[in-house]
Amino acid sequence: MSQLESKTLFDSLGHIEDPRSEHLTQHKLIDILVIAICATICGADGWEQIATCGRAKQEWFKQFLELPHGIPSPDTFARVFQLIKPTVFQQVFMHWVSAAVEKSGGDLVNIDGKQLRGTRKKKKYQADGQEGLRMVSAWAARNRVVLGQVKTAEKSNEITAIPKLLELLELKGCIVTIDAMGCQTAIVEQIVKKEADYVLSLKGNQGTLHTDIEEYFAWATSEKFKDIEYDFCKSLEKGHGRIEERICYVTEDIEWLEQKADWVGLKSIIMVEAKREVIGMEPTVERRYFISSLAVTARQAIKAVRGHWKVENQLHWCLDVGFREDACRIRAGHSAENLAVLRHIALNLLKQEKSCKLGIASKRMQAGWDNGYLSKVLNI
């Protein structure tokens, strides 16, 4: 991919309409946005910390910001991010990423949701439907960047947000992976219209589809796939007192599947069997099932299946541990949603900076301490 350049992002931020009344615009909107992004990279997790970081680095910011009245107060940061329309902020973010990310055929795009637990109100206050913000994000596994994000509607789930996110993404030639929540015929049709392929997890949310495929693989394995064209592969992992063997089976023998016509582009079905042995515990066996538009080998199938969990390990885990996202209690107005975009911007930039072999939390601290390293993260 091309390097994510903050200059391109900052130029785009200049096109966001200022939501404040004219008499309340003592500080320029672009200054507020840039300081917030830089402070989030440097470890700030709230308005007080963002303003403090701005004051500490005021001389550094003066190199490329006007700052006609110095650094804004915490209240100014809070007010602005409560008012900015998240859709506009997200569009700027996605335009910036898409201009730099070079996707090639077969690249994995993992789509998954995450609830920001800190935005939930206490039970006695949940009657108004504000049960916490949930964001559905698209993660480019090879490039290790967030491609975009969409908020789920209140009192809804990811099914309503995934189509909105897919509509915004350029997916031609990519392989989209989604967990069982997104295994819907309309979503499959949308992916195919985007000229992409899919590998979708199955559970009991699609009538008899899961049961039919489960029973098929139970029969096929008992017969050792006699007279069935299929492929399989094995992997073995050992460590930390655990042995885990995975066997992946994939077949295009699906003419028998009654629901085949309902799933646009469906070409193969996949089973992954995981056998786990942990010292001092009984061995366990888990079987998971998937549908796919790909005519793939078993190694390609397991790569897509296991690749989906990168969104958990490389995105959600980093947001929880490196950015303490679930601990953030800010939720007034559009604040929570806009803060989520700030964190995604910071994460993308920190992931792309490869000279420092540290975790995200340590990179944030180093950026806060060292203006030279912050400039390197920003690529300015």
| Maximum C-alpha span of the chain | 78
**Cβ atoms within 10 A of the Cβ of 344, count?**
24
User: Rounded CA gap, 259 and 263, in Å?
Assistant: 7
Q: Examine residue 84 and state whether it is found in any structural domain, yes or no.
A: yes
Residue at 10 is within a domain: yes
Query: From CA 289, how far away is CA 299, in angstroms rounded?
Result: 15
| pLDDT above 50: residue 82 | yes
Where among 298, 320, 347 does a domain terminate? Answer: 298
How far, in Å, CA of 155 to CA of 22, rounded? 36
What percentage of residues in the chain have a pLDDT greater than 90?
Answer: 70
Residue 336 lies in a domain: yes
- Per the domain annotation, does 346 fall within a domain? yes
pLDDT, one tens digit per residue, over 182-222 is 999 999 999 999 999 999 999 876 778 999 999 999 999 99
The number of distinct structural domains making up the chain is 2
Q: Is 145 inside a domain boundary?
A: no
> In Å, how far are 67, 99, 111, 112, 122 from 138, measured between CA atoms?
35, 16, 5, 7, 29
Q: Characterize the bridge pairing of strands 268-278 and 242-251.
A: antiparallel
SS3 of 167-199: the string is HHCCCCCCEEEECHHHCCHHHHHHHHHCCCEEE
pLDDT at 294: 95
Q: Region 289-304: what's the mean pLDDT?
A: 93
Confirm if 243 and 189 have CB atoms less than 8 A apart. Answer: no
Residue 112 lies in a domain: no
| Coil, strand or helix at 148 | strand
Name the domain boundary from 249, 280, 298: 298
HSE value, Cβ hemisphere, 13 Å, CA-based, for 14: 7
CA gap 358, 174 in Å, rounded: 30
Q: Which two tokens stand for residue 30?
A: 């672009």
Does one domain contain both 273 and 338? Answer: no
Among 230, 220, 139, 120, which Cα is nearest to 179's? Answer: 139
- In CATH, what number is assigned to the domain containing residue 268? 2.20.130.10
End position of a domain, from candidates 298, 320, 340: 298
User: Tell me: the pLDDT tens digits for 89-111?
Assistant: 999 999 999 888 877 778 999 99
Residue-range definition of the domain harbouring residue 249: 202-298
Find out whether 109 and 194 touch, Cβ atoms under 8 Å.
Answer: no
